[in-house]
């Protein structure tokens, strides 16, 4: 079994962080299969 991952997002320098990640945005989250591969999207509020 192998896990390949890709993380994308905005540049951290565009934000002033104080406490880190606040929550997961469940309304934008999904898990599905495409061409025998599992795809997951997780959006984090910072």
Supply the pLDDT for residue 31.
94
Supply the pLDDT for residue 35.
92
Supply the pLDDT for residue 33.
94
Supply the pLDDT for residue 10.
83
**pTM for the whole structure:** 0.55
What are the residue ranges spanned by the domains of the chain?
A: 12-45
- Per-residue pLDDT tens for 1-46? 788 888 888 887 887 877 778 888 888 899 999 998 889 998 888 7
Which residues touch 16 (CB under 8 Å, ≥6 apart)? none
SS3 string, the chain, reads: CCCCCCCCCCCHHHCCCCCCCCEECHHHCEEEEECCEEEEECCEEC
């Amino acid at each position: 079994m192998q896990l390949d991952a890709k993380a994308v997002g905005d540049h951290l320098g565009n934000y002033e962080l104080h406490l880190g990640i606040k929550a997961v945005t469940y309304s934008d989250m999904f898990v599905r299969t495409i061409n025998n591969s599992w795809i997951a999207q997780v959006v984090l509020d910072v």
